[in-house]
């Protein structure tokens, strides 16, 4: 998977998890469930993270992942409030509408993310590639013996590795 597709998958997972949690809290509040406790919110965050990871890591249908996230979130908040119940037709219709809208919004966010990445690739400079370096001319192999004697008498002794190396 390329870096761009990995980023788009993370956007899909983040939006799917966040949408599942937000719809669960909104449905709980509209259903008269009251304010959830800290433990319920912590469990709901863990549930929405799991939904986001599933949405980012697989190519399951987005609507199915959203429905599963809403059901799990609703169960977490219902058990916290102590009123597990069978949802009525109005609640199922509300969740279905929320799923459809959320699926459209997440798909639009994925498409927008791909468009933005493509635009950035066109505008951003190419990665730096260094120019080829020319090799310096080899050192002359012939040195007259007169120069060597003059250098030694002046106290200048070459300190390089032996020629055989």
Concatenating the DSSP letter of every residue in 85-131 gives ----HHHHHHHHHHHHHHHHHHHHHHHHHHHHHHHHHHHSPPPP-PP
Residue 159 falls inside a structural domain:
no
Provide the pLDDT confidence category of residue 45 given band limits of 50, 70 and 90: very high
Residue 132 falls inside a structural domain:
no
Domain of 117?
3-123
What single string gives the DSSP state of each residue in 62-95?
A: HHHHHHHHHHHHHHHHHHHHT------HHHHHHH
Whether 40 has a pLDDT exceeding 70, the answer reads yes
Our count of domains for the chain comes to 1
Residue 21 falls inside a structural domain:
yes
pLDDT higher at 151 or 51: 51
pLDDT higher at 15 or 128: 15
Residue 30 falls inside a structural domain:
yes
Residue 80 falls inside a structural domain:
yes
Global pTM reads 0.66
Q: What pLDDT score was predicted for residue 80?
A: 75
Length, in residues, of the chain: 165
Residue 157 falls inside a structural domain:
no
Residue 29 falls inside a structural domain:
yes
Per-residue burial over 14-44, b = 16 or more CB atoms within 10 Å of its CB, e = otherwise: bbbbbbbbebbbebbeebebeebeeebbebb
Provide the pLDDT confidence category of residue 148 given band limits of 50, 70 and 90: low
Whether 130 has a pLDDT exceeding 70, the answer reads yes
Whether 150 has a pLDDT exceeding 90, the answer reads no
Residue 27 falls inside a structural domain:
yes
């Amino acid at each position: 998977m390329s870096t761009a597709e990995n980023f788009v998958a993370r956007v899909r997972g983040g939006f799917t998890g966040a949408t599942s949690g937000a719809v669960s809290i909104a449905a709980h509040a509209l259903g008269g469930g009251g304010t959830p406790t800290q433990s319920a919110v912590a469990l709901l965050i863990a549930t929405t993270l799991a939904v986001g990871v599933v949405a980012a890591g697989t190519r399951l249908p987005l609507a199915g992942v959203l429905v599963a996230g809403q059901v799990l979130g609703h169960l977490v908040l219902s058990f916290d409030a102590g009123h597990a119940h069978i949802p009525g037709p109005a609640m199922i219709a509300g969740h279905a509408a929320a799923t459809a809208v959320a699926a459209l919004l997440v798909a639009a966010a994925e498409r927008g993310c791909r468009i933005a990445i493509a635009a950035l690739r066109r505008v951003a400079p190419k990665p730096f590639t260094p120019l080829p370096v020319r090799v310096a001319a080899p050192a002359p192999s012939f040195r007259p013996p007169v120069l060597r004697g003059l250098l030694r008498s002046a106290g200048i002794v070459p300190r390089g590795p032996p020629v055989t190396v």
